[in-house]
Structure 1
Amino acid sequence: MVDARKNAPEQPPAGGWGALNATERQLARQKILVKGNRALLNMNKPGGFDCPSCAWPDPVKPHKAEYCENGAKAVAWEATAKRTGPIFFSEHSVSELRGWSDHALEDQGRLTHPLRYNRDTDRYEAVEWASALSEIGTINRQLDPDRIELYTSGRTSNEAAFLWQLYGRLLGTNNFPDCSDMCHATTTTALPESIGVGKGTVTLEDWEACDCLFIIGQNPGTNSPRMLALLHDMAKRGVPIITFNPLKERALVKFTDPQSPIEMLTGRGQAITSNYYQLRIGGDIVAMQALCKVVIEADDAARARGDARIVDTAFIEEHTHGFAAFADYCRSLDWNEIERFTALTRAQLNQAAEIYMRSKRVIACWGMGITQHRNGGDAMQQIMNLLLLRGNIGKLGAGACPVRGHSNVQGDRTVGINKTPTEPFLQRLDRAFGFTAPRKWGHDTAECCEAILRGEVDAFLAMGGNFFRAIPDTERVSAKVQHLKLTVYVATKLNRSHLTPGEHSYILPALGRTEIDMQAEGQQTVTVEDSFAMVHGSTGQLKPASEHCRSEPWIIAQLAKRSVADRAAIDWDALVADYARIRDKIEAVIPGFDSYNARIAQPGGFHLPIAARQRKWDTPTGKANFLFAAGMMDEDDDVPERPHYQLMTIRSHDQFNTTIYSYNDRYRGVAGERMVVFMNQDDMARESLTEGDLITFRAVAQDGLERRVSGFKVVAYDIPSGCCAAYYPETNALLPLSHRDVRSNTPAAKSVPVQIVAQSAGTPVESAPEVSEQTPEAAGLIAPLA
């Protein structure tokens, strides 16, 4: 059932009773209604466990219920009473399971035993830990380290990620594809060019002091719902919230705070966005430059009149480089072109710029609506240019705020998951562990996939995640995995990646964030870093799902003992017996972790140093840089007159990354299905489509390969003409590996050129000739399991 039409009646606010009901239903479905609610009261609290979902920071004084709907769903999904044990695998072959939906696979429950794939029977079978670890270690020792890939999920703790990178470098490789390569690596790569650091510059204290907020390409209602509580309070005190986003997202329109008894009783909620601008997909670069143009020209006029300046001249002169050239470029921009490329009017952009100019302390947030574009780094740098014009970096209440997705995706990078490690880092690592780490740069996610396609990978080891479902060109890459000598998946639940076994394949069951981690010297705490560079502890509270589940640090240490024990004098057992020893090593190798063990228990955690926050700029110029590419107007430079649409891949509200909690998307009015495409009504008329019609997507790619997926139901939606949206990962097969940000290799999943072809009832799926193995689900042939 779908009710998401452009002219549908006003939807109720996000949050409120709907969020509470959805939470309780999910806990009940996972058979942990009482246990789950008790666990949630310990989440995001000092001494409790950190949310396994998004990376929003914890307040110093948390609410009694310091969690959101999506965080509660993540806990329910992890703490479920359901189990996926050896009997399940004896009853279902890998070939059969490939026909199951993503939701059905994970909904079987927690993995309980180490598993080894038997190619003769096409089944995973239980194996003893000692045997599995010994066999994996033996194979790894025989391989060329350049042909080994070690993937890291953003849920991996600092301690596990640090040991993982150590293990990889002892093997002799810097091949560290990471989940951040698929989301915010653009920030990590392009932001330092502007301000010298690849992280945000704000804290919760700044959010409380700011007097204007820009949200650009970010949907907190689905991706970081705890952010809504702050937006609610900001809007209530009259702070303008300016949103640039192609889709009208319900949570950015109005939100009922579950912590407010009055709002819960009345159901009215608080209006969130004061000014909502639905720009065309890919129009962010020009939109931000248009705002800068208005500010600069207003400053020109003020200077001519002898009035107070609009731009912060003192800040610009002392702290920035390149302003004059950027200002001249913005002045030269033509309003007709600006309107054409953004789908916004001059009046709208003037309005947003006027609000910016009236504000003294501005924070700009962005998400994957910025980073997952071919020129995402350029778009992000225009956001920085806007902030720099009025000195909105390095002062209270102002700054840059990339909103990360997975709970420790930022921390993993900080502690060394990086294909291009710096020489100072490697030297400190060498000294701390008494070996010489490899200096040759390795692979990120896109480069790992390309190496697999070329036949240049022998082993793929994944610390969590669902790599082969999350990547672009999913079918092309997955079809090659069977030729790898070794695949190892450390996981809590079964997912589609596990159905791509190599010649030797293992699934190793890990503890979840919610569970008690008991090692030789007692219960252990791990640490994570949130989006605001705050590091804090996380201590599991629940009994492990199985006596055979092991912690990620323990698994890594055991693998290391069997494959690299002779390459450095490291007491792996001691490190794992008490994770404080791992943190001591992190402190010795990574700057900013002084007194690590003493500080992790303080409420809210401790803040890692961010030089730009102090207006210290670690750039070649020694200053913050106004950066732009002259003439760069759009994602494809040929819009809006073009024979195709820009597809934006999105999450549903009942989804986190590739984890599908259900087939509902309450905030977009979709129930019981995921194979939908959201389209502008004028575009539907142009294509002679009506709601409920089925279409086939055909990717418009320059590499000569055909990519098609079928079976998507048309839904009329409030989205600019020439744009459409559909759920990820069902659309990943459309996304070429080559279609990615030019700096970071982040897949451009928010702007995929596609053609839309009407599909008559019974039309078979048009599989691309280069795809040797297209799953029924990816092709849209099987009905979702509710």
Structure 2
Amino acid sequence: MPFSKREIIKRNVSARGPEELGNLRVSAPKDFAAGLPAIGKTLEHSFREMGLFRPFQALAKMNQQEGFDCPSCAWPDPDSPSKLGEFCENGAKALADEATLTQADAALFSRYSVEELSHLTDYEINKLGRLVEPMVLHSDSLHYEPISWEDALSLISDHLVALTDPNQAVFYTSGRSSNEAAFLYGTFARALGTNNLPDCSNMCHESSGVALSETLGIGKGSVTLDDLYGADLVIVAGQNPGTNHPRMLSALEKCKENGGKIISINPLEEAGLIRFKNPQRPNGLIGGGTPLTDLHLPVKINQDIPLVKLLLKGLLERERGGAGVLDREFITNKTLGFQELEADLDSYDSEDLLSRTGLSSKEIEAAIQMLAESENIIICWAMGLTQHKNGVETIREYVNLLLAKGSIGKPNAGTCPVRGHSNVQGDRSVGIQHFVDAALNERIEKHLGFVSPDKKGWDVVESIEAMHAGKVKIFMALGGNFLKAASDTDFTAAALEECELTVQVSTKLNRSHLVTGKTALILPTLGRSEKEGKGEGHYLTTENSMGRVSRTRGVLKPAAGNLKSEPELIAELGARHFGAQHSVPWLQCAQDYGLIRKYIDLVAKGFSNTSERSKGKGYDLPNNARAGDFSKLPGGRAKFTVNTLPDHGLAPDEFLLMTIRSHDQFNTTIYGLDDRYRGIYNERRVLLMNPEDMQELGIAEQEVVHLSSTYGDEVRRAPNFRVISYAIPRGDVAAYFPETNPLIPIHQFADRSQTPISKSVRIRVEKTS
């Protein structure tokens, strides 16, 4: 069914959604995570969305061997998962959200136009339910209409055929996709002739990948789950595991039981790192739980580099005094650049560094002492380190600390970037990348039979800018909520609307389905928890945050009988577009996931006999940093680096904003309107501010303010936020994303990784009267 040119009408959709305020209620922040309240919330969400019996069927199999992976975060499973369940409150919320009995069907889209739907909140849009049939939004319509799978795939192919250059197409990937789906998706794009494969890594841990590749020769973390149990010291920097990776708290609890210590480094003190009430233990239900953090360092936003330099200077001073606190043998035999690092550290004044951090000398001395006493150190981090202009340099400075202590390439020590989405690391491992890898291209030509493009593609920022400039005709998203995940919401919305066709492969409705190209498709797909098929080989695989590949097999009846899995959908599109004579047997891949895995083994680096080895516990991909092998780096050794101090150039009336998640959300998905760990209820448009800053500005508790950011001649605004006094360093403020994403300029991102500066945005706080 060739697409026809239709009249283009203007749709008055809202890219931001409502910006009015609700009835905010505030209480004191909690000093513990999990416990009985977590059990209550788990049951509440599960029963409300899934009914009475389905929650037990699904939760019993989530994160279990031969069960299915949680659709939320990528935290690894223990080798022997608990018989009581290996899931957390937020994982249960993610499951309930995916497996809801509510459906967003054709009747819903007939009743409401895209304009009307766009004026709902993101929370309300998500609550409309599971997408259950393919839908099309024609250029001359305000309503989505049903479309057959055959016509939907033909529509995409016809638009692709009409391109004058394959680089007019962009293929975005969310971290929810399986290895099989991501591999086929990347194969489709490259067979078309483009490396335009932006993915959610670009917006979160791209800085980690760049920094670790430069210093250790691999863009992944080096530790295993067991390593955390036996570490002498775990540093948790720029991360809130109690909300974003709650199962990590169990690992930290084991570390404490084995005598390990924990330092948390974050502008906000988070409940999960204060005390953990493990719901699977008696003291977690009726007792006081386990205190976790031994030392909390409330560093000012993005002042980690001066902090780490202070710690290194303190260790170096003790080393020069004969204390022997550095691993000289490791430094001599395994690293390069230590003398340059020493000279850099000597060039800084300790008092100036201390002033920048906002910490006390007593706190710094306590941290130095803990480091000096520890041999096996693990550093964990998340977006609190990566989403800054100097995100790459910040992570490199933390790596300097590990290298100086010799805490790389041995048990119970190393790097631990905690990935946010359930298979974002696996997507990258199987080839979702916009940059060119000559060795990968050679394997593609040898085993898939076509020549892969050798021109670098666009990442997320570059794709948005290209769309905005009219260089992109087709945008396709494999999962995710691209509009609300990206920075500069209004700019991104205008960019999407420039496309001829936007395609969203999704389980749930979100705002990216409403702010679209001239023509738009919604292609509904199976969720992680749903059965893929009856065949023995009809399962999928994922890679967790620590590099282990294992199978995932859903157990629930699909939300609708005509849903396609992501691999099936992509394979059928490949067959439709390239035809039966193409070198890739697309239709066979749709019917046999084992065949896809055979191709992954041949093409993707480190994969081997995946269909067999992914059983049970799964298998670990090769990791040179874990093995202490740095031979492929220049000079054959790990690299110390010299990193400069951050300079935000704040005007006297500007604050530094960090965007954060509430406890009732995962990434852009809003499960509810409460953030109970921080004591915030029924409202998301809030600004956390130091009470002394509030007093200086004459701002009362819960007073309404407007926010603005000025970069160059551009002023961006976000109205109506209630100010809450909170324990945050002076000059720093915090607010939820995606509500504050409109303040982040598209052209402000981390050097070399191009990750948006979501954690350090210069803003002004404007009183409304």
Query: Same fold judged by TM-score > 0.5?
Result: yes
Aligned to 2:424: 409
Query: What amino acid sits opposite 1:331 in the alignment?
Result: D
Alignment of 1:533 onto 2:547: yes
Deviations 1:507-555 (A, max 9, x none): 0000000000117x55621111111001110001000001121100011
Corresponding residue for residue 55 of structure 2: 36
Map of 1:748 onto structure 2: 757
For 2:354 and 2:332, the matched residues in 1 are separated by: 32
The alignment status of 1:477 with 2:477, answered yes or no, reads no
Helix, strand or coil: the match of 1:360? coil
Q: How does 1:315-714 map to 2 (within 5 A)?
A: 315-518=330-533, 521=535, 524-565=538-579, 568-603=582-617, 605-617=618-630, 618-629=632-643, 632-636=644-648, 638=649, 642-702=652-712, 704-714=713-723
Distance 1:107 1:206 in 2: 40
* From 7, 12, 18, the counterpart of 2:37: 18
Query: What is the letter of the counterpart of residue 452 of structure 2?
Result: A
What fraction of aligned residue pairs are identical, expressed as a percent? 41
Pairwise CA distance, 1:309? 2.1
Q: Quick check: 1:70 aligned with 2:80?
A: no
Partner of 2:69: 50
Deviation digits for residues 557-593 of structure 1 (CA, Å, limit 9, x no counterpart):
1111122237832221211212111010000012211
- Partner in structure 2 of residue 777 of structure 1: none
Q: Choose which of 171, 176, 179 in structure 2 pairs with 1:150.
A: 171
Report the AA paired with residue 141 of structure 1: V
In the alignment, the residues of structure 2 paired with residue 109 and residue 202 of structure 1 have an alpha-carbon distance, to the nearest angstrom, of: 38
Distance in 2, Cα, partners of 1:752 & 1:191: 25
Instruction: Give the TM-score normalised by structure 1.
Output: 0.93
In the alignment, is the contact (CA less than 8 A) between 1:162 and 1:416 conserved in 2? yes
User: Partner residue of 1:781?
Assistant: none
Distance 1:163 1:567 in 2: 17
Moved more, 22-31 or 717-726: 22-31
Change (3 A) 1:115 1:523: farther
Once the two structures are superposed, what CA deviation does each residue of 1:398-423 show, in whole Å capped at 9, x if it has no partner? 00110000000000000000011310
Equivalent residue runs for 1:714-725 within 5 Å: 714-725=723-734
Letter in 1 for 2:742: A
| Correspondence list, 1:185-334, <5 A | 185-266=206-287, 268-302=288-322, 309-334=324-349
1:91-111 residue CA offsets vs partner (Å, 9 max, x unmatched): 000011111111111111100
- CA contact 1:509–1:548 (8 Å) conserved in 2: no
Does the 8 Å contact 1:217/1:370 carry over to 2? yes
Looking at structure 2, the residues matched to 68 and 739 of structure 1 have their Cα atoms a distance apart, in angstroms, of: 35
- What's the secondary structure of 2:662's corresponding residue? coil
Amino acid at match of 1:494: L
User: For residues 12 and 391 of structure 1, do their structure 2 counterparts lie closer, same or farther at Cα, with a shift above 3 Å needed?
Assistant: closer
**In 2, Cα distance between equivalents of 1:468 and 1:544:** 27
Q: Which amino acid aligns with 1:224?
A: H
Q: Where does residue 129 of structure 1 map in the other structure?
A: 149
Q: Which structure 1 segments of 5+ residues have no match?
A: 303-307, 761-786
Alignment partners' CA distance in 2, 1:290 and 1:514: 47
Partner of 1:230: helix, strand, or coil?
helix
Deviations 1:116-158 (A, max 9, x none): 0033330101111111111111111221211100000000000
Per the normalisation by structure 2, the TM-score is 0.95
Kept in 2: contact 1:283–1:635 (CA 8 A) = no
Please list the CA deviations of residues 742-773 of structure 1 after superposition, one character each: whole Å capped at 9, or x if unmatched.
0100001001010101124xxxxxxxxxxxxx
Q: Note if contact 1:296-1:331 (Cα within 8 Å) is conserved in structure 2.
A: no
Shift of the alpha carbon at 1:482? 2.4
1:60 equivalent in alignment to 2:79: yes
Q: Following TM superposition, by how much is the alpha carbon of 1:505 offset from its aligned partner in structure 2, in angstroms? A: 1.1
CA contact (8 A) 2:222 2:623 kept: yes
What displacement does 1:240 show? Answer: 1.1
CA distance in 2, matches of 1:746, 1:384: 19
Contact 2:30–2:678 (Cα < 8 Å) also in 1 = no
Change (3 A) 1:750 1:576: same
Shift of 1:237: 3.6
1:49 partner letter: F
The 1:33–1:349 alpha-carbon spacing in structure 2 relative to 1, beyond 3 Å, is farther
Distance 1:221 1:512 in 2: 25
Question: Could you say what the CA RMSD is over the residues aligned between the two structures, in angstroms?
Answer: 1.4
Contact 2:568 2:589 in 1 (8 A): no
3-state SS, counterpart of residue 706 of structure 1: strand
Task: Select between 232-241 and 185-194 the one with higher mean Cα deviation.
Answer: 232-241
Matching residue's letter, 1:643: D
Please list every run of 5 or more consecutive structure 2 residues that lacks an aligned counterpart in the other structure.
1-22
Report deviation, 1:597: 1.2
Aligned counterpart, 1:772: none
Is 1:118 paired with 2:118?
no
Instruction: Give secondary structure in 2 for the equivalent of 1:363.
Output: strand
Tell me which of 727, 735, 740 is aligned to 2:744.
Answer: 735
SS at match of 1:276: strand
* Mapped contact 2:541–2:551 kept (Cα < 8 A): yes
Give the Å deviation of 1:426.
Answer: 0.6
Structure 2 counterpart of 1:616, which letter?
D
Cα deviation, residue 12, structure 1 = 4.6
The reply to whether residue 93 of structure 1 matches residue 105 of structure 2 is: no
Aligned length: 744
State the Cα deviation string for residues 311-363 of structure 1 (Å, max 9, x = none): 11111011100001101211222122112211012221121011011011111
Distance in structure 1 (CA, Å) of the matches to 2:31 and 2:321 = 44
Deviation per residue, 1:711-770 (Å, 9 max, x gap): 10001111000000000000000000111100100001001010101124xxxxxxxxxx
**Which amino acid counterpart does residue 645 of structure 2 have in structure 1?**
M
* CA–CA distance in structure 2, aligned partners of residues 238 and 367 of structure 1: 25
> SS state of the match for residue 254, structure 2?
helix
The one-letter amino acid paired with 1:484 is C
Q: Tell whether the 8 Å contact from 1:32 to 1:81 is kept in structure 2 after alignment.
A: yes
**Residues 619-674 of structure 1: per-residue CA shift (max 9 Å, x gap):** 22221111023xx22241x46x7331010000000100100000000111011110
Q: CA deviation at 1:288?
A: 0.9
User: 2:711, 2:745 within 8 Å by CA — same for their partners in 1?
Assistant: yes
Moved more, 62-71 or 228-237: 228-237
State the alpha-carbon separation in 2 of the partners of residues 86 and 98 from structure 1.
Answer: 17
CA distance in 2, matches of 1:566, 1:189: 39
Tell me, what secondary structure is at the counterpart of 2:634?
coil
User: Aligned partners of 1:314 and 1:568: how far apart in 2?
Assistant: 55
Q: Contact 1:433–1:568 at 8 Å: present in 2 too?
A: no
Maintained 8 Å contact 1:236/1:270? no
